[in-house]
Chain A
Amino acid sequence: MTMTETAKADPRASGTVDPRASGAKPLVELKDIRIAFGGVQAVDGVSLDLYPGEVVGLLGHNGAGKSTLIKILSGAYKADSGEIRINGEKATINSPRDARRYNIETIYQTLALADNLDAASNLFLGREITTRAGFVDDARQEAETRKIMARLNPNFRKLSEPVSALSGGQRQSVAIARAVYFNARILIMDEPTAALGVHETAMVADLIKELKAQGLGIFLISHDTREMMDLCDRVSVMKNGQLVGTERVEDVTEDDILSMIIMGKNPKREPA
């Protein structure tokens, strides 16, 4: 049940081959998604798709609606209207449990860890390994946690302490480990490297490339445009709940993306 240990270079991973060109079906299609909180239209008619082996970046100013959009896919919120299709079939995602059933794993911006539990208990929360007698097998959970953490953050040693005793980056590592440990097919990462150091960020970037090579579809949210240009195949920009546009990274420059974020339009497509 762990992710495959090795992932050698796969042609799809290079980033130059467009996964959509291979004629594959989209893994995820979000169609005209809308949700409002009270008077705030947090997501306003956004449509996105995601192909296997593809990383789609979501960019936008604070409060643009990025987290809200992906929380609809992860089952945390229910859209007011719109449609979610997984593998071309209409999906009903009413709770995080449903999303997990579609092999959707999420790293939330807030990390969503139970502070009073240790790393292993958090990693397996809701999916505990049990012994034959039906009891939680803490020893095995801890051993598995050790294994996966060794790949994500080799300095991580505070396995048996409540995660409240961890640093921001260590907590983030736990959240990442939880999302990648179970065989996800669709991975949602909401600012996964916000609290990480340089080295750990590089390790997460490697991990993203590796998972992509294994054919996962990844939604990545980040404010770091340079990083996004590097990791993503396509980037989508949101502003005030609406989708400004989706571009292949080869077709745009960092400046283009910045103006999409700030001005809400792509200067190349709509010259001033």
Chain B
Amino acid sequence: MSNTDSVPNAAPPEGRPADKAPARSFLNQLELDLRLLGMVGAFIAVCVVFNLLTDGRFLTPRNIFNLSIQTVSVAIMATGMVFIIVTRHIDLSVGALLATASAVMAMMQTRWLPDTLGLPLGHAALPWLAILAGLVTGAVIGAFQGWLVGYLTIPAFIVTLGGLLIWRNVGWYITSGQTIGPLDETFQAFGGINGTLGAQWSWIFGLVAAGIAVLALVSARRNKIGHGFPVKPVWAEAVVIGIIVAAILGFVAVLNAYEIPSRVLARDFAARGAEMPEGYSAAYGIPYSVLLLIAVAVVMTVIARKTRLGRYIFATGGNPDAAELSGINTRLLTVKVFSIMGILVAISAVVASARLTNHSNDIGTLDELRVIAAAVIGGTALSGGIGTIYGAILGALIMQSLQSGMAMVGVDAPLQNIVVGTVLVAAVLIDIIYRRRVGGK
């Protein structure tokens, strides 16, 4: 059992000639995740093809801005779905739960709080209390479903299939089936176009984010050296840092290139009772909803990689019996995972209802399928134990790009769904083949 056979990812032991093709070893030295590269490649391919088909209308700052804000809601939920699927469960209730959370928040800010506490509409505390209520609703309902799955051992498929029917109609009863709106202005700022950082703050954010990314990479490298582990060559590290910094700043530059239409600006000035200066212009910059997604992505990635909770989630998915024998309380873990999902659904409910500027009963319809598809396209294995947060977000982005791209090209709605369905199945097939090639898993 001595293992002198080669170890694909580790640096070759000194004195052994590199026996791989140069191109391959170039990528190897960058130590980039091949699956990540594949997904980024697929995303770029989708963008380029649609850009050609639409004569350059797909990759305009305006469309990229819209694409970003359309992706946020599903992407936030997809990160939670990763944990659910990694622990070998499924959640079919997210779209319906989104409706309930949205209904609670809409009623809070327009009826319940004004009626009971006497807060006038437009009061500064309203949106925040409403959001808090939504988050609590999501967390509690999620935890309850997790309890049914973990402690009463009802299969998650059944619990959340029930939830799919229950929560949408609970939402209906909360609002008596009415559309509730318009929502509070501050609340609407989380929807996308109605709340953005503006050019200057977007640049500051981009620079800070790039700085943090560089620091994180450098300190990870120091840490490795400190423990005597092999590290990649300095040039490879520099290339990776360069790509990341360019991607962050490039994204900011694109969003900053989308200028607020002058009639909107003029309206704003008029509302403040001022005259708009001649030739005045301003850019939208990064929408708050996208910042929210970034924050969720960072927190979820840290949970997945750096905390015990995350370690236990993946261990349980890989081998539930082993996790149990290692002293992990897998039942409580199930409650936590579903509760996290519920909180993320509530955050998505803020974004989705804010984007529409009101709550309607059909909000989030079919989102469960989009969310599951995003996680799966992003490389989350339904057999459990494998999945990444960035993958799920990329999955959501790829799906949204396909959908908007096809809409722009003028593909019929039925055909759009046929394509998305085909992509889902094909993505999983490719993933299976890839895993078989890489071996092991």
Per a CB cutoff under 8 Å, which of A112, A156, A160, A162 touches B325? A112
Known: A116-B385, A126-B327. A160 touches B9 (CB 8 A): yes
**Distance between Cα atoms of A122 and B322 in the complex (Å):** 9
Which chain B residue has the least Cβ–Cβ distance from A71?
B325
- B315 touches which one: A114, A134, A143, A161 (CB < 8 A)? A114
What residues of chain A lie closer than 8 Å to B323, measured between beta carbons?
Answer: 114, 125
User: Given contacts A114-B385, A134-B307, A142-B227, is CB(A200)–CB(B325) below 8 Å?
Assistant: no
Shortest beta-carbon distance from A125 to chain B in Å: 4
A106-126 interface mask toward B, CB cutoff 8 Å, 1 = contact, 0 = none? 101011111111000110011
Proximity string of chain B (274-286) to chain A, C-beta cutoff 8 Å, 1 when within and 0 when not: 0000000000000
For the complex, give the distance between the alpha carbons of A161 and B6 in Å.
Answer: 12
CB neighbours (8 Å) of B322 from chain A are 111-114, 122, 125
A133 CB to closest chain B CB (Å) equals 9
Contact A126 B328 (CB under 8 A): yes
**Complex: how many Å from CA A116 to CA B317?**
8
Q: Which residues of A lie under 8 Å from residue B311 when comparing CB positions?
A: 117, 121, 125, 128, 136
Q: Which of B296-347 contact A (CB under 8 A)?
A: 302, 306-308, 310-312, 314-319, 321-329
Mark contacts of B213-233 with chain A using CB atoms, 8 A cut-off: 1 yes-contact digit, 0 otherwise. 000000000011011110000
Give the contacting residue for B441; candidates A111, A113, A116, A155; CB below 8 A. Answer: A116
Q: Which residues of B contact A135 (CB under 8 A)?
A: 302, 306-307
Let me know if A197 is at the binding interface, CB within 8 A.
Answer: yes
Residue-wise, chain A 135-157 has the 8 Å CB interface mask toward B (1 for contact) of: 11001101100000000010111
Contact (Cβ within 8 A) A96 B440: no
Q: Pick from A164-172, A208-216, A245-253, A258-266 the stretch touching chain B.
A: A164-172
A76 within 8 A of B: yes
Interface residues of A: mostly helix, strand, loop or mixed?
A: loop
Contact with B along A84-108 (1 / 0, CB 8 A): 0000000000011100100000101
A41 within 8 A of B: no
> In the assembled complex, which residues on chain A have CB atoms less than 8 Å from the CB atom of B223?
139
| Contact assessment for B315 and A125 in the assembled complex, using a CB-CB cutoff below 8 Å | yes
Q: Is A204 engaged at the interface, CB distance under 8 Å to the other chain?
A: no
Q: Which of chain A's residues have a CB closer than 8 A to the CB of B312?
A: 126
A196 to B327, CA, bound (A): 26
User: Which chain A residue shows the least CB distance to B308?
Assistant: A128
Contact of A139 among B227, B315, B327, B441 (CB under 8 A): B227
Q: Does A14 touch B at the CB level, under 8 Å? A: no
CB-CB under 8 A from A74, the residues of chain B are 325
Contacts of B441 on A, CB cut-off 8 Å? Answer: 115-116, 162, 164
Query: Knowing A95-B327, A114-B315 touch, does A139 contact B10 (C-beta < 8 A)?
Result: no
Q: Tell me if B116 counts as interface (CB < 8 A to partner A).
A: no
Judge whether B327 and A170 touch: CB under 8 Å. no
Per-residue CB proximity of A25-69 to B under 8 Å, as 1/0? 000000000000000000000000000000000000000000000
Q: How far is the CA of A108 from the CA of B322 in the complex (A)?
A: 9
Does B293 reach chain A (CB closer than 8 Å)?
no
Residues of B within 8 A of A130 (CB): 308
A223 on the B face (CB < 8 A): no
Interface size on B, residues (CB 8 A): 40
| Given contact pairs A114-B314, A114-B315, A117-B318, A157 touches B385 in the complex (Cβ within 8 A) | no
Shortest distance from the beta carbon of B210 to any chain A beta carbon, whole Å: 23
Contact B3 A167 (CB under 8 A): yes
CB proximity of B211 to chain A, nearest CB, Å: 20
Is B422 an interface residue when CB atoms closer than 8 A count as contact? no
Q: Which of B7, B224, B315, B329 contacts A158 (CB 8 A)?
A: B7
- B 152-187 to A, binary, CB cutoff 8 A, 1 in contact else 0: 000000000000000000000000000000000000
Whole-angstrom CA separation of A165 from B238 in the bound complex:
30
Q: How far apart sit A200 and B2, CA to CA, in the bound complex (Å)?
A: 9
Q: Does B372 contact A (CB under 8 A)?
A: no
A108, A110, A117, A142: the one contacting B229 at CB < 8 Å is A142
B440 engages A164 (CB within 8 Å): yes
Q: A135 CA to B7 CA in the complex, in Å? A: 28
In the bound complex, residues from chain A placing their C-beta under 8 Å from that of B264 are none
Tell whether B1 is near chain A: CB-to-CB under 8 Å. yes
* Nearest chain A residue, comparing its CB with the CB of B328: A126
Q: Is B227 within 8 A of A162, CB to CB?
A: no
Q: Do B9 and A125 touch (CB < 8 A)? A: no
On whether A139 and B1 interact (CB within 8 A), knowing A96-B324, A125-B326, A162-B440, the answer reads no
**B327 adjacent to A169 (CB under 8 Å):** no
* Contact yes or no, B227 A196, CB < 8 A: no
Task: Determine if A155 and B2 form an interchain contact, defined as CB atoms under 8 angstroms apart.
Answer: yes
Nearest B residue to A113, CB-CB: B322
In whole angstroms, how far apart are the Cα atoms of A76 and B322 in the complex?
10
Residues of B within 8 A of A139 (CB): 223-224, 226-227, 229
Nearest-Cβ distance from residue A228 to partner chain B, whole angstroms: 22
Residue of B nearest to A98 (CB): B327
Q: What residues on B are CB-neighbors of A164 within 8 Å?
A: 440-441
CB distance from A196 to the nearest CB of B (A): 7
With a 10 A CB-CB cut-off, give which of B2, B9, B329 has the most chain A CB atoms. B2
Q: How far is the CB of B378 from chain A (nearest CB, A)?
A: 16
B439 at interface by CB-CB < 8 Å: yes
CB of A112, distance to nearest CB on chain B (Å): 4
Q: Which of A122, A127, A156 contacts B3 (CB 8 A)?
A: A156
Q: Is B389 an interface residue (CB 8 A)?
A: no
Instruction: Report B93 CB to chain A, min CB distance, Å.
Output: 26
List 9 A–B pairs whose Cβ atoms lie within 8 Å, in order of A's numbering: A76-B325, A108-B325, A110-B321, A114-B316, A116-B386, A116-B441, A125-B326, A135-B302, A165-B439
Given contacts A139-B223, A153-B1, A167-B3, 9 further A-B contacts (CB under 8 A): A115-B441, A125-B328, A127-B327, A130-B308, A136-B311, A157-B3, A160-B9, A164-B440, A200-B1
